[in-house]
Amino acid sequence: TSSVPLLGFAQAGAGGFFDDAGFPVGQGWDLIELPARATDTSYALQVQGDSMLPLYRNGDVLIVEPGAATRKGDRVVVKT
């Protein structure tokens, strides 16, 4: 197992949690244990509220792997 930084999805839009490349920095991150090995750049976002229903529910945890290869139909997190 390995641990990755965890942040609430609503907090992710606020400044100070990511560097310019989109990697976790700063204070306010918790840690979450994963059942599988993660890379050094993996992190987790926890869904807060019901704005992402019906796909994701309040409390769901999304594992983000920057730089992973994507395929048609994959769901991605985008930093704007």
Per-residue pLDDT, 72? 96
pLDDT tens series, the chain, 80 aa:
689 989 887 777 777 788 888 788 878 788 999 888 888 889 999 999 998 899 999 999 999 988 889 999 999 888 77
Listed by start position, the domains of the chain span: 2-64
Give the three-class secondary structure for 34.
strand
**Strands annotated E in the chain:** 2-8, 30-34, 43-46, 61-64
Neighbours of 24 (CB within 10 A): 21
